[in-house]
């Protein structure tokens, strides 16, 4: 039980009194804190939800007759993006069914809003497919493994993230050439790792569970030992994946001793001076979104140049810039200033019975959602606006590395599934009480089996959607182009 926000608590001497020897002091409720002793059991409340939403019910996939077809969904998701980049986005989505899934979070949210849900709310990623996990650097030079894309984040049903993850694992496994049993097992074991990790977190002291870092210990907990060699290789590459290395390859020296970006179409291009000036000016209000102790750090850098850089499959067509900063020694730091569009899940929350939030700034939504889900976040994460449009700001190439799930061997797919399932549970546990979710998920594999069945069914649906898009491209209905 929590005291409602805004509820006044008046404390008087009579209320508090003085506890005698052996007596328990009874303090009045404090706003924002739990009451003691706790009323009710979150675990039992979770168990009780099984009667209204049986765990086996999550296997169901009943598609709505009004469901948009694949081409309609893609065209709708392209609205508001830079028109000239839409064919590139469509071309990337048409590459494989897994790539189609990556670009169709809104279509899947439409379908998920019509599936069984416990109505337990969590801060969800909204796009928790298997390629949106990876390595990144912390402030002390270490590497952390976690979710790393939050463009679609909202408060919503935890099941949506888990169903998107398990479906993506089936599609990635198929693309990697794994047999159907291996793909289904990966989905099953990802759900099992989610369930077991939530149970583990529910048993830990709150502070230990909150600060659980996604590192090599989590890999061990997830029994992902066959993946260790791959992670070590990716870690080595991630340590070299820095702003300095990117700047060295993507910039040239100027006559005044500074540096500027060099065109590298279609991914990187210089922008006109007014556009560059607008982006540079947006960094001033960005500073107001950072903790004050970060300001002396950025004050030691000068802004040198701005360029436009095309981003990943789901974000192609959004406005995204890289900003080159140099310190007094000429060492570089690159910031990414990326447009923050409304979450693709937003139109479907009401259908699912969840409150539709009033978003004042999409960049703020993304940043706050990311901080709610990660234990360690980018120390320069913030938001701003450029000519009236909302943007998020973060470090670019902050020792980032990622696993390509479609390139894993059959024995590694299952390891990766268990690791990502565990990571997702940890991320959800910051906003949803792990005791409540664990109480619902339980000890046996009923939920795991249901999630695996859903994953296979939705993977089949995604392959059909992908085929529709490819046919539309071939028929000339939708323009598409291949690109890097």
Asked whether the beta carbons of 339 and 319 are under 8 A apart, the reply is: yes
Phi/psi for 383 (5° steps) reads: -145, 165
Q: Is the dihedral of CA 147, 150, 154, 157 positive or negative?
A: negative
108/35 same-domain check: no
Domain count, the chain: 2
76 and 171 housed in the same domain: yes
Token pair, residue 265, equals 């179409």
Establish if 457 belongs to a structural domain: yes
Same domain, 98 and 217: yes
- SS3 of the chain: the string is CECCCCCCCCCCHHHHCCCCCCCCCCCCCCCCCECCCCCCCHHHHHHHHHHHCCHHHHHCCCCCCCCCCHHHHHHHHHCCCCHHHHHHHHHHHCCCHHHHHHCCHHHHHHHHCCCCCCCCEEEECCCCCCCCEEEEECCCCCEEEEECCCCCCEEEEHHHHHHHHHHHHHHHHHHHCCCHHHHHHHHHHHHHHHHHHHHHHHHCCHHHHHCCCCCHHHHHHCCCHHHHHHHHHHHHHHHHCCHHHHHHHHEEECCCCCEEECCECCCEEECCHHHHHHHHHHHHHHHCCCCHHHHHHHCCCEEEEEEEECCCHHHCCCCEEEEEEECCCCCEEEEEEEECCCCCCHHHCCCCCCCCCCCCCHHHHHHHHHHHHCCCCCCCCEEEEECCEEEEEEECCCCCEECCHHHCCHHHHHHHHHHHHHHHHHHHCCCCCHHHHHHHHCCCCHHHHHHHHHHHHHHHHHHHHHHHHHHHHHCCCCCCCCCC
Domain co-membership, 3 together with 151: no
Residue 190 lies in a domain: yes
Question: Does residue 371 fall inside a structural domain?
Answer: no
Q: Does residue 464 lie in a domain region?
A: yes
Residues 6+ apart with CB under 8 A from 417: 130, 166, 169, 186, 187, 189, 190, 193
Does residue 364 form part of some domain?
Answer: no
Residue with token string 């291949």:
482
Positive or negative torsion for Cα 190, 192, 197, 202: positive
Please check whether residues 164 and 34 belong to one and the same domain: no
Regarding whether 124 and 202 lie in a shared domain, the answer is: yes
- Distances from the Cα of 14 to the Cα of 17, 22, 46, 462, 473, angstroms: 5, 19, 38, 65, 76
- pTM for the full predicted model: 0.91
Q: Are residues 154 and 62 in the same domain?
A: yes
**pLDDT at res. 232:** 75
- Same domain? For 71 and 192 the reply is yes
Please report whether residue 456 resides in a domain: yes
Q: What is the pLDDT along the chain (484 residues), one digit of tens a residue?
A: 223 334 444 444 454 456 566 677 788 889 999 988 888 999 999 999 999 999 999 999 999 999 999 999 999 998 888 888 889 899 999 999 999 999 999 999 999 999 999 999 999 999 999 999 988 888 777 778 899 999 999 999 999 999 999 999 999 999 999 999 999 999 999 999 999 999 999 999 999 999 886 554 555 556 666 666 677 777 777 777 788 899 999 999 999 989 999 999 888 999 999 999 999 999 999 999 999 999 999 999 999 999 999 886 667 778 999 999 999 999 999 999 999 999 999 999 999 999 999 999 999 999 999 999 998 899 999 999 999 999 999 999 878 778 899 999 888 899 999 999 999 999 999 999 999 999 999 999 999 999 999 999 999 999 999 999 999 999 999 999 875 4
Give me the pLDDT at residue 390, please.
98
Nearest to 133 by CA among 417, 357, 391: 417
Model pLDDT, residue 484: 47
Same domain? 3 vs 115 = no
Cβ-based burial of 349 (10 A; exposed 0-12, middle 13-18, buried ≥19): buried
Nearest of 259, 273, 98 to residue 170 by alpha carbon? 98
- 27 and 54 fall within a common domain: no
How do 302-309 and 320-326 pair as beta strands?
Answer: antiparallel
Rounded Cα gap, residues 236 and 103, in angstroms: 29
Give me the domain span that covers residue 126.
Answer: 42-233+398-474
Q: Is residue 208 part of a domain?
A: yes
Q: What is the pLDDT of residue 4?
A: 37
Same domain, 85 and 139: yes
Can you give the pLDDT at residue 67?
A: 96
Report the alpha-carbon distance of residue 203 to residue 117 in Å, rounded.
Answer: 24
State whether 113 and 217 are in the same domain.
yes
Please report whether residue 65 resides in a domain.
yes
Give me the sign of the Cα torsion angle 33, 39, 41, 46: negative
Nearest-angstrom CA–CA distance, 60 and 67: 16
């Amino acid at each position: 039980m929590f005291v409602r926000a805004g509820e006044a608590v008046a404390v008087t001497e009579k209320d508090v009194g003085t506890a005698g020897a052996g007596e328990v002091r009874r303090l009045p409720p404090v706003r924002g804190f739990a009451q003691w002793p706790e009323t009710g059991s979150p675990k039992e409340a979770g168990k009780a939800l099984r009667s209204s939403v049986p765990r086996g019910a999550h296997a169901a996939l009943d598609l709505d007759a009004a469901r948009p077809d694949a081409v309609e969904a893609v065209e709708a998701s392209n609205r508001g993006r830079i028109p000239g980049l839409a064919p590139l986005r469509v071309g990337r989505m048409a590459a494989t069914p897994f790539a189609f899934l990556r670009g169709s979070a809104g279509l899947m949210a439409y379908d998920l809003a019509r599936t069984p849900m416990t109505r337990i709310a969590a801060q969800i990623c909204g796009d928790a497919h298997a390629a949106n996990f990876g390595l990144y650097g912390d402030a002390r030079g270490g590497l952390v493994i976690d979710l790393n894309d939050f463009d679609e984040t909202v408060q919503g049903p935890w099941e949506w993230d888990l169903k998107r993850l398990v479906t993506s694992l089936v599609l990635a496994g198929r693309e990697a050439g794994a047999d159907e049993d291996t793909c289904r097992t990966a989905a099953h074991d990802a759900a099992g790792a989610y369930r077991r990790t939530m149970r583990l977190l529910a048993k830990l002291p709150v502070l230990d569970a909150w600060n659980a870092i996604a590192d090599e210990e989590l890999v061990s907990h997830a029994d992902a030992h066959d993946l260790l060699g791959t992670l070590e290789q990716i870690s080595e590459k991630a340590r070299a994946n820095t702003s300095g290395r990117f700047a060295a390859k993507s910039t040239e020296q100027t006559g005044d001793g500074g540096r500027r970006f060099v065109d590298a179409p279609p991914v990187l291009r210089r922008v006109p001076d007014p556009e560059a000036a607008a982006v540079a000016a947006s960094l001033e209000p960005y500073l107001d979104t950072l903790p004050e102790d970060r300001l002396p750090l950025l004050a030691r850098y000068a802004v040198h140049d701005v360029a436009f850089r095309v981003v990943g499959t789901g974000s192609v067509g959004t406005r995204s810039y890289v900003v080159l900063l140099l310190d007094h020694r000429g060492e570089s730091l690159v910031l990414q200033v990326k447009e923050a569009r409304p979450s693709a899940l937003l139109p479907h929350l009401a259908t699912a019975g969840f409150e539709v939030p009033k978003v004042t700034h999409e960049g703020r939504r993304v940043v706050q959602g990311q901080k709610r889900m990660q234990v360690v976040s980018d120390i320069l994460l913030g938001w701003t606006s450029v000519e009236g449009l909302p943007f998020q700001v973060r470090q670019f190439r902050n020792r980032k590395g990622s696993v390509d799930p479609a390139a894993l061997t059959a024995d590694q797919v299952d390891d990766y599934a268990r690791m990502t399932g565990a990571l997702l549970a940890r991320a959800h546990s910051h906003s949803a009480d792990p005791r409540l979710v664990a109480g619902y998920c339980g000890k046996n594999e009923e939920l795991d089996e249901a999630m695996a069945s859903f994953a296979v069914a939705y993977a089949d649906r995604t392959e059909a959607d992908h085929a529709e898009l490819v046919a539309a491209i071939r028929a000339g209905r939708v323009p598409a182009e291949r690109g890097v």
